[in-house]
């Protein structure tokens, strides 16, 4: 997506008015009323938006037109934020089983797909890798807290080569201590904070150990997955989102993995915890595991790398009011449209702030539309934020 640099463009006339009246930045009034809606369901103002010619007739512009609001004092082109991805990869003994309809084991197919996805990511993306359980089948404890490759930019310090070598050293073995491994992966992300953080969890089964290595580790003694769902929700509350991929073998865990993806803030559009469109990426019915993994990782990369935009800092001495920010999208050859903010945790379309309000994240179907077009995204400041 083409976008201009995130530089503030100040309107001279508006600034003169602010100076004359002694108003704070973004303090001018809006001509909009909340009960006026366009055909697209986007709230606009009064009897319609105010256009450049001073007209108030909504009939003169297509639905969704938003430019020229009298309260809008400044705008900025939206620049994609850099992302941080922690790959959390299940290397338990079951991953050594043959992959359905593919050559090689589930591990061979997973390794190949992950390395191809990482190879296609920009150098500015930060990526780290944690494998679990990291211990032989008969060892105690069940999980060795160890980072295979620490978080770093792919273009720095031979990071791509280190990741490739780390994958080459893995031999699937042991149980499935997913909770211990997930908590460790999140802790490592928080210890080396980066922008726009994600955990990408890939697993082929139900956890066989509870937190603290409680359990036998045997598949027939699977443990409750509910604490993992709560852990993902807690991570989301700290700004870390979690993607979940369930490989063949995770059939019995589909509902819990779906709920974990939802709790982690990455639920797929129109998903259900009872199928067939689960909220996580379910590979258990894929006719071609290699192709399914490639598609899932492509979607994850697209969302993680292109649907988050930094909110530029306010000019020196001014304060940005986050309740007076709107997101505008202009499709190729089209008219500028407002993208309304999505309230609550669930986010299938629209946009939301990051936890610290320094980034704007496009949700679900909105992300898909914007990232696959050649349009432009703009942030507009001064008007009260439109909600869905």
Domain coordinates of the chain in residue numbers?
9-33+71-79+312-381, 84-306
Shortest CA distance to 376 belongs to which of 309, 315, 300, 311?
309
149 SS3 class = strand
Q: Is 317 exposed, middle or buried (0-12, 13-18, 19+ CB in 10 A)?
A: exposed
Please say whether the beta carbons of 67 and 55 come within 8 A. Answer: no
Q: pLDDT for 205-223, tens place per residue?
A: 889 999 999 998 888 888 9
Q: pLDDT for 105-130, tens place per residue?
A: 999 999 999 999 999 888 889 999 99
* The pLDDT of residue 73: 60
pLDDT band at 388 (very low <50, low <70, confident <90, very high): confident
* The pLDDT of residue 159: 96
164 SS3 class = helix
Non-local CB neighbours of 6 within 8 Å, separated by 6+ positions: 76, 77, 78, 79, 309, 310, 312, 379
* The pLDDT of residue 319: 81
**pLDDT mean across residues, the chain:** 78
Please say whether the beta carbons of 174 and 137 come within 8 A. Answer: yes
Q: Which residues pair with 341 in a beta bridge?
A: 351, 387
Give a three-class secondary structure readout of 11-42: CHHHHHHHHHHCCCCCCCCCCCCCCCECCCCC
pLDDT at residue 238 tops 80: yes
* The pLDDT of residue 34: 34
pLDDT band at 103 (very low <50, low <70, confident <90, very high): confident
pLDDT at residue 16 tops 50: no
Q: Which CATH superfamily is domain 84-306 in?
A: von Willebrand factor, type A domain (3.40.50.410)
Non-local CB neighbours of 359 within 8 Å, separated by 6+ positions: 81, 195, 196, 308, 309, 310, 311, 353
Q: What is the mean pLDDT of residues 369-373?
A: 77
φ, ψ (nearest 5 deg) of residue 275: 85, 175
* The pLDDT of residue 76: 67
Across the beta sheet with 308-310, the strand order is 308-310, 359-362, 351-353
| 345 token code pair | 């945790």
């Amino acid at each position: 997506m083409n976008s201009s640099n995130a530089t503030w463009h100040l309107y001279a006339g508006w600034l003169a008015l602010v100076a004359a009246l002694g108003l704070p930045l973004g303090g001018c009034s809006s001509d909009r009323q909340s009960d006026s809606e366009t055909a697209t369901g986007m709230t606009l103002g009064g009897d319609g938006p105010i256009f450049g010619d001073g007209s108030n007739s909504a009939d003169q512009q297509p639905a969704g037109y938003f430019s020229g609001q009298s309260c809008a004092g400044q705008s900025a082109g939206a620049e994609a934020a850099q992302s941080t991805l922690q790959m959390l990869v299940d290397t338990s003994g079951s991953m050594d089983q043959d992959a359905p309809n593919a050559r090689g084991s589930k591990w061979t197919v997973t390794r190949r797909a992950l390395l191809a996805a990482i190879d296609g990511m920009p150098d500015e993306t930060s990526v780290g890798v944690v494998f679990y359980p990291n211990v032989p089948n008969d060892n105690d404890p069940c999980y060795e807290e160890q980072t295979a490759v620490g978080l770093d930019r792919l273009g720095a310090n031979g990071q791509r080569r280190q990741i490739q070598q780390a994958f080459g050293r893995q031999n699937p073995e042991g149980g499935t201590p997913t909770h211990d491994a997930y908590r460790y992966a999140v802790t490592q992300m928080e210890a080396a904070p980066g922008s726009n953080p994600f955990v990408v969890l890939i697993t082929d089964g139900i956890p066989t150990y509870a937190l603290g290595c409680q359990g036998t580790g045997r598949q027939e003694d699977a443990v409750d997955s509910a604490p993992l769902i709560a852990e993902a929700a807690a991570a989301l509350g700290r700004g870390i989102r979690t993607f979940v991929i369930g490989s063949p073998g995770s059939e019995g865990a589909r509902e819990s993995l779906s709920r974990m993806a939802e709790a982690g803030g990455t639920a797929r559009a129109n998903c259900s915890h009872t199928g067939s469109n689960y909220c996580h990426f379910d590979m258990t019915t894929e006719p071609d595991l290699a192709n399914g993994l490639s598609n899932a990782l492509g979607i994850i990369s697209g969302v993680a790398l292109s649907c988050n935009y930094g909110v530029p800092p306010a000019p020196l001495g001014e304060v940005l009011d986050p309740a007076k920010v709107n997101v505008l999208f202009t499709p190729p050859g089209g008219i500028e449209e407002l993208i309304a903010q999505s309230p609550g945790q669930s986010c299938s379309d629209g946009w939301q702030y990051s936890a610290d309000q320094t980034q704007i994240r496009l949700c679900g179907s909105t992300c898909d539309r914007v990232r696959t077009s050649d349009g432009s995204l703009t942030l507009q400041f001064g008007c009260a934020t439109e909600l869905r």
